[in-house]
Amino acid sequence: MIVRQLAALAVLLVGAARADAQRRVVPAPSTPRRAHVVPRAKAPVVRAVPAPARAVPPAAATGPGSQLTVTLITFGIGEAVWERFGHNALWIHDAGSGQDVAYNWGVFAFDAPDFYKRFLVGDPRYWMEGEDAYAMISAYHNAGRPITLQTLNLTPAQALALRDFVERNALEENKYYRYDYFRDNCSTRLRDALDRVLTGALRRATDTIQTTLTYRGESVRLTEGDVPVQTGIEIALGRGADTPLTAWESFFIPMRLRDAARVVTIPGTDGARVPLVASERVMSPSSGTSRIVEPRSAPDHTRRNLFAGLAAAVVLLLFRSLPRSQRWATWIVGILGMVWSLLCGALGLVLLLAWVATKHVFWAQNENLLLLSPLSLLLVVLVPLALLAGRAVGRTRLVAGIVAGLGLLALALALLPGGQPNLDIVALFLPMHLALAAALFLYLPRQARAKQAPKG
């Protein structure tokens, strides 16, 4: 699995709420919701996936744990926003008992106490549990998700230790944890469980490998095509999300862990290095289902956002440039200014509260607050007063000038080396800030009355 929750701000919070609210797990409403798990088919599960073969040589496959085989299951991205980050699970096959259980760390329940409050303050409660591996694979396969099955080259002792660990982890007193969409999610929990039985070999092999990936870049990359959620992520994430990741840290994305597992080697029973993955099988989506191709890199939407920002600014200035006798045009400018200021101010207030009053650590130190200043909320009242009644003109111009000036500061910081990579957000918001300030510095009703006042 993975992150089910990066939504951000009004735009992103809407995306997050939509993502969470529409996750469906049947059969019963009281059944815990599994992140990224699709509806279970009513038809019997067809076991088209063969049980994994032993990953160790027959001579070594004796003693405790020799009947166990561990397979890393990675589910590729899907169409829905909450499916864009993939999912994963550990399939433990017991040849002795015939049991096949897939353990994952992405379970939550909407009806849990304070679920929505915990979500908003950055303290969501998730847990892990096991389910029938074949049912899980069939559900994802029928939903059109690509599936990769990697049989791991674990010794019988390692396989036994892993099974014992996940079974203990699934106990009521052990299964709950505070979910963090980057540092402690379903995929990182799986990674840590695997590294535990490998006595740290996976971390040693990957934690010193520096990448150019970032939490922001990965989130934007995987939400390509969903403009509201993608934009919300870009707005919500602060500077902490822009630190380059090690390969180990990048495993918060299940597909990154899958890819690394293909090349990592670990000490074998005789001390020699052996591949972590003994064998791999890829299941294509079932026929008749669509498949979303995973983007290779994070897109740059600066040009697209600049066109949108300039278009909005031009519309505002066009109405403002109409003759003063066109009172309706002034009303349109006033309404546009109010709506724009309410949007920016509300988003800024959310960003500020998330920074200082919640556990959303990656929303902190966010330079987008310069573009989305809570000061804009003052303009919700001041803009119509100045445009339509000629009142508080000086204060209105002052606040609009400050808001525009903060936007220009955001632009300067974005262009400087080491600045927050938010040029696309600057391109989206700054043109409208400048246009609104310019509109307020043009002719206003108070000036007209001053000119027409009789001399005496």
Per-residue pLDDT of the chain (456 residues; tens, 9 = 90+): 434 444 434 334 433 333 333 333 323 323 344 444 443 443 345 455 666 655 544 444 567 889 999 999 999 998 888 789 999 999 999 999 999 999 999 888 777 778 778 888 888 889 999 999 999 999 999 988 999 999 999 999 999 999 999 999 999 999 999 999 999 999 999 999 999 999 999 999 999 999 999 999 999 999 998 999 999 999 999 999 999 999 999 999 999 999 999 999 998 877 789 999 999 999 988 766 667 789 999 999 999 999 999 999 999 999 998 877 788 999 999 999 999 999 999 999 999 999 999 889 899 999 999 999 999 999 999 999 999 888 999 999 999 999 999 999 999 999 999 889 999 999 999 999 999 999 998 866 554 444 444 554
Nearest CA to 261 out of 4, 83, 77, 71 is that of 71
State the Cα–Cα distance between residues 166 and 129, nearest whole angstrom: 8
Residue 67, both tokens: 């009947």
Which amino acid appears at position 298 of this protein?
A: A
**Residue whose tokens read 């994430």:** 237
CB 108 within 8 A of CB 33: yes
CB 150 within 8 A of CB 74: yes
Domain boundary among 283, 318, 353: 283
How much is the pLDDT for 49? 67
> 160 and 37 share a domain?
yes
CA 268 to chain CA centroid, nearest Å:
37
**Residue whose tokens read 């096959």:** 93
For helices 227-236 and 9-21, the axis angle rounded to 10 degrees is 120
* Domain assignment of residue 293, yes or no: no
Residue 237, both tokens: 């994430």
User: For the chain, what is the domain count?
Assistant: 2
State the Cα–Cα distance between residues 11 and 43, nearest whole angstrom: 38
* Domain assignment of residue 331, yes or no: yes
Cα–Cα–Cα angle for 306, 213, 299, rounded to 5 degrees:
25
**Residue whose tokens read 């150019």:** 212
Residue 31: domain span: 9-283
> 54 and 184 share a domain?
yes
Burial 378-403 (b: 16+ CB within 10 A, else e): bbbebbbbbbeeeebbeebbebbeeb
State the Cα–Cα distance between residues 255 and 292, nearest whole angstrom: 14
CB 111 within 8 A of CB 121: no
> 306 and 365 share a domain?
yes
> 239 and 358 share a domain?
no
* Domain assignment of residue 96, yes or no: yes
Classify 413 as helix, strand or coil. Answer: helix
Give the predicted TM-score (pTM) of the model: 0.84
> 341 and 442 share a domain?
yes
